[in-house]
C-alpha cells in the first residue's frame, strides 16, 4: 500500500513574517537540515497580545526577525513543544526581554545511563527515520542536528488538558503527545480549531522516534490521540500545514504498523539484531542512512518486547546491541 502522502513547502523566505491564517503568523528560521526540512517555523498567535510557539534555534538572524515581528506587541506566553535545539533555545532570550512565562511539559529528562552506556559512541548522534526521508527532498545546507537543549527549564510546567492561555480571543490548551520526546506537547488553539503539532506530526516527513527518550508505544498512542481530535488544521514546526489531519495521521499509523509487521516477520526467521533487520528493511535505501534507521528499528523492538511480541535473547532491557528473538 502507498505510504503517507508528504507535502512540500516551496518558496521560503527566511525571517519574513507570513500571515498564514486570520490569527496566526509564522517566521521561518534559516536552519534547514535533514531534521528541520526548510527550517524551524515559529508561530505568533494573536495581534497586540501575542502567544509565541517554539521561538526556535539560537540563531542571530532568527532572533532579530522575531524582535522585529514582535515590535510594539505584548508577549503573553511562550509555549514550547519540546526541547530539541531547533525549538526551545530562543525562549530564554524572549522570556528575558518580554517578561512572559515559558510554558512546557517540563525539561528534557536525562536518559537512563545504563541504556545510553550501551550505545556505541559512533551511534550516539541523533537519529532520523532516514529511510522515510530519503526521498523527501530535504535541502542541503546548514546542518544543525537535532540535539537537545538540556538547559531549558519552563517557568510554568503543564500537564495534558491544562488551559494555558484564555481570554481576549485566544484559548490554548496543552495536549501532551509523548513519543518523539517524552515531554513533547502539542498546543490546541480553540478559536481556529487548530493544533500546533511541533515534531509530533510533520507534514513533510515521518517523525524521529529514538530511544531511550523517544518511545514508539507512546508515539502510537499519541498519534491515535491526535487522529481522534479531528482538528481542522495541523500546523507542524517544520513544513506546510495539513488540512487532512485525521486521514493523514491515520496513514502515519498504518505506515508504522507496516514497519512493525516487517520487523516481526524478520524475527520469525531466527534470532537477529537491529543492524541485521535494517539491512533487510532498508535494503533499497542509501547506506549512509542505515545508521539513523537503526534507531527507528530499535524503538519498534523496545515496544515489541514490552508488549511480549519479541524477546531479548539474553534477557534484560531491549538495547541497540541486543540479540532479539520471536516469542
Q: Which residues bind Zn ion (CB under 5 A)?
A: 84, 199
Q: CB nearest Zn ion: which residue?
A: 84
Strand, helix or coil for residue 159 = coil
In the structure grid, which three cell numbers stand for residue 111, read together? 536518559
Output the smallest distance, CB 120 to Zn ion, in A: 23
In the structure grid, which three cell numbers stand for residue 37, read together? 526540512
Output the smallest distance, CB 257 to Zn ion, in A: 23
Cβ pair 185, 237 in contact under 8 A: no
Alpha-carbon distances, residue 135 vs 70, 142, 164 (angstroms): 36, 19, 38
24-28 and 41-45: which strand pairing? antiparallel
* Chain centroid offset of residue 71 CA: 29
Strand, helix or coil for residue 290 = helix
User: How far apart (Å, rounded) are the C-alpha atoms in residues 277 and 269?
Assistant: 11
- Looking at the Cβ atoms of 35 and 220, the one nearer to Zn ion is 35
- Looking at the Cβ atoms of 84 and 176, the one nearer to Zn ion is 84
- Looking at the Cβ atoms of 84 and 108, the one nearer to Zn ion is 84
- Looking at the Cβ atoms of 34 and 84, the one nearer to Zn ion is 84
- Looking at the Cβ atoms of 219 and 324, the one nearer to Zn ion is 219
Output the smallest distance, CB 251 to Zn ion, in A: 21
Alpha-carbon distances, residue 157 vs 49, 154, 284 (angstroms): 21, 6, 43
My answer on whether omega of the bond before 212 falls inside 30° of 0, hence cis, is yes
- Looking at the Cβ atoms of 46 and 214, the one nearer to Zn ion is 214
Output the smallest distance, CB 105 to Zn ion, in A: 13
Output the smallest distance, CB 146 to Zn ion, in A: 5
Output the smallest distance, CB 308 to Zn ion, in A: 30
Amino acid at each position: 500500500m502507498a505510504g503517507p502522502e508528504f507535502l512540500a513547502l516551496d518558496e521560503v523566505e527566511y525571517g519574513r513574517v507570513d500571515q498564514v491564517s486570520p490569527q496566526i503568523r509564522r517566521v521561518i528560521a534559516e536552519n534547514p537540515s535533514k531534521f528541520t526540512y526548510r527550517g524551524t517555523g515559529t508561530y505568533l498567535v494573536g495581534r497586540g497580545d501575542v502567544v509565541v510557539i517554539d521561538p526556535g534555534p539560537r540563531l542571530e538572524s532568527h532572533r532579530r526577525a522575531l524582535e522585529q515581528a514582535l515590535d510594539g506587541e505584548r508577549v503573553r506566553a511562550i509555549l514550547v513543544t519540546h526541547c530539541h535545539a531547533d525549538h526551545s533555545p530562543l525562549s530564554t532570550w524572549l522570556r528575558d526581554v518580554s517578561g512572559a512565562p515559558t510554558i512546557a511539559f517540563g525539561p528534557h529528562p536525562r536518559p537512563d545511563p545504563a541504556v545510553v552506556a550501551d550505545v556505541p559512541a559512533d551511534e550516539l548522534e541523533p537519529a532520523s527515520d532516514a529511510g522515510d526521508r530519503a526521498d523527501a527532498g530535504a535541502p542541503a545546507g546548514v546542518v544543525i542536528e537535532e540535539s537537545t537543549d538540556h538547559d531549558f527549564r519552563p517557568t510554568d510546567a503543564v500537564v495534558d488538558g491544562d488551559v494555558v492561555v484564555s481570554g481576549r480571543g485566544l484559548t490554548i490548551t496543552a495536549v501532551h503527545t509523548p513519543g518523539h520526546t517524552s515531554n513533547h506537547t502539542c498546543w490546541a488553539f480553540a478559536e481556529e480549531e487548530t493544533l500546533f503539532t511541533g515534531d509530533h506530526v510533520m507534514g513533510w516527513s515521518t517523525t524521529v522516534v529514538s530511544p531511550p527518550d523517544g518511545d514508539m508505544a507512546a508515539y502510537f498512542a499519541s498519534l491515535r490521540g491526535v487522529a481522534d481530535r479531528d482538528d481542522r488544521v495541523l500546523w507542524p514546526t517544520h513544513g506546510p500545514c495539513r488540512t487532512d489531519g485525521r486521514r493523514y495521521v491515520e496513514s502515519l499509523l498504518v505506515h508504522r504498523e507496516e514497519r512493525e509487521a516487517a520487523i516481526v516477520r524478520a524475527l520469525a526467521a531466527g534470532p537477529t539484531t537491529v543492524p541485521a533487520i535494517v539491512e533487510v528493511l532498508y535494503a533499497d535505501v542509501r547506506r549512509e542512512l542505515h545508521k539513523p534507521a537503526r534507531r527507528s528499528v530499535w524503538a519498534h523492538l523496545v515496544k515489541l518486547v514490552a508488549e511480549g511480541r519479541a524477546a531479548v535473547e539474553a534477557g534484560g532491557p531491549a538495547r541497540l546491541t541486543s540479540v532479539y528473538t520471536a516469542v
